[in-house]
Amino acid sequence: MCLTKMANSSQKIVYKLVLTGGPCGGKTTGQSRLSTFFENLGWKVFRVPETATVLLSGGIKFVDLSPDEAMKFQENLLKTMIQIENTFFELGRTCQRNCLIICDRGAMDASAFISKEKWEAMLNANNWNSVELRDNRYNHIVHMVSAANGAEDFYSTEEHACRSEGVELARELDYNAAAAWIGHPYFDVIDNSTDFDKKMNRLLACVCQRVGLDTGDRLNVNSKKRKFLVKPPLLPDAEFPPFQDFDVVHNYLQSDVRKAQVRLRKRGQKGHWSYIHTVRKFHPTNGQSVEVRTQLTHRDYLNMLPQRDDAHFTIFKKRRCFIYNNQYYQLDIYRQPTHPRCRGLVLLETYSGMYDQDALLASLPKFLTIEKEVTGDPAYSMYNLSLKEDWKTSTKYYSGSEGQTKCMNGHSTEKANGHIRNGHTEKVNGHDAKANGHGAKVIGHTYSKISSIGGDRNGYHKENGFGHINGDVTDADYNMKNTKARSPKIHKKDAVKV
């Protein structure tokens, strides 16, 4: 199958992807990143739920089953999985757009939990075969290596109702899950040899490469989020390359957790919405932040809305996503009603590995008027932009210093994005904001773990430390402790590490 040819042709693509791996490997966060990324490109994305989690959440305890019961359970699980997947595959077939179908585990994962003999007996009893279940059913398999294998400090089972494995068992399950898929023609392993954000970028780059999408250097492992202030008015739509527009609504929620930012986001087109719950928590000693993002149902979203923090305005944006010179961009256009400081505010975001400032500015879209780069500037964090209080007197303004909010009236020095600002007044979108942190260390070297509702539980994310998360897919400069991964022992010809 020539996927590059498929992506570059006019033929509609239905791409069936399996995300597999051991516990705490990044599958949930990976699904969210992939969904948002491909939706921004105009694709339809379906997410097939993990069948085992659906069944086990009903009270089944696999360890309590007898060998015969375990085999029958796996057989029924596989039958259920196939039927659920077929429903989504049929929807993809009839969809008018390019379609990405992300399966949270796939048919061969069942073989990792029973003996080879029982697996073969199950296949024979149901007239199944491994070639159809493994090679022909899915376009691509990506194995997300468990944090228990190379990132042990970040392995966690907290608040995950169906996860109780210790580190050693998690490693064994991780290896078995990888071994189950060996032989698939498009099988990639994403290990823990980099920090978590780069791990997610490697996942995105791997899938895009297989599909045949050119993403420029946005997904390069050395790429970092860059943010620019754009001067309105914008040129007419006809002057833009092909784009997708989304309505985005952010609400910050009240939080009982000290030094935590919690928010809801809904994002949609033509009245159809997706919902995300984000918890961003700051490390108590070094100010670095960790984040967990969770996909919500419409009902969950409505149930959480009453928890809105009255100290913040609701943020309304139009988000325009487009590709210019093989580089992927997001243009956030702030809308009313909001604080006067946001009126006319337009911010451009991208990922780039380009370190030459002049070269970077020269590469930006020519049809936009770029005023300046504001990467890491707390005055352009969404958290601060949404505050109802005046920044000069606010005790909630987040300066990026040690994970704390700072009042803007002092006279200390703040180090942000490599530059020193000595308490001078700075014009931000036509309004004065006095910046004055306390020698803030922006990029730190210590990390933390958190968990949240229904989240991935990887919990080893880390952001720039400026209290803003404007990107669709947690576009920030995370840093996880680099540890040499002990990846599954898979022959090089069978798995490609990206």
Query: pLDDT digits over 147-190, tens only?
Result: 766 656 565 555 444 444 567 777 888 888 888 888 787 888 88
* pLDDT number for residue 441: 32
Within 13 Å of residue 390, how many CA atoms lie on the same side as its CB? 6
pLDDT of residue 232: 95
| 144 close to 31: Cβ distance less than 8 angstroms | no
Q: What is the DSSP letter of 296?
A: E
Work out the average pLDDT over 286-307: 77
Q: pTM of this prediction? A: 0.57
The residue behind tokens 């069936």 is: 16
**pLDDT tens, 205-233?**
889 988 888 777 777 766 678 999 999 99
Segment 246-268, tens digit of pLDDT: 899 999 999 876 667 899 999 88
Q: Which residues contact 131 (CB under 8 A, 6 or more apart)?
A: none
- Which tokens sit at 355? 């370190």
Instruction: Say how many residues make up the chain.
Output: 498
Per-residue pLDDT band at 418 (split at 50, 70, 90): very low
Structure tokens at 171: 């490693």
Cβ-proximal residues to 245 (8 Å cutoff; 6+ apart), any chain:
269, 318, 319, 320, 321
**pLDDT at 395 exceeding the cut of 70:** yes
Strand, helix or coil at 187? strand
Return the top range by mean pLDDT from 4-18, 103-117, 446-460: 103-117
Q: Are strands 224-230 and 346-352 parallel, antiparallel or unpaired?
A: antiparallel
Q: For the chain, give percent helix, strand, coil, nearest 5.
A: 30, 25, 45
Predicted local distance difference test score (pLDDT) of residue 138: 93
My answer on whether omega of the bond before 185 falls inside 30° of 0, hence cis, is no
E-state strands within 410-471: 414-416, 419-421, 425-428, 431-434
* Residue 127 CB partners (closer than 8 Å, separation 6+): none
Task: Report which listed range, 27-31, 175-179, 463-467, is most confident.
Answer: 27-31
As a whole number, the mean pLDDT across the chain is 75
Instruction: Give the span between the Cα atoms of 38 and 473, in whole angstroms.
Output: 11
| % the chain with pLDDT above 70 | 70
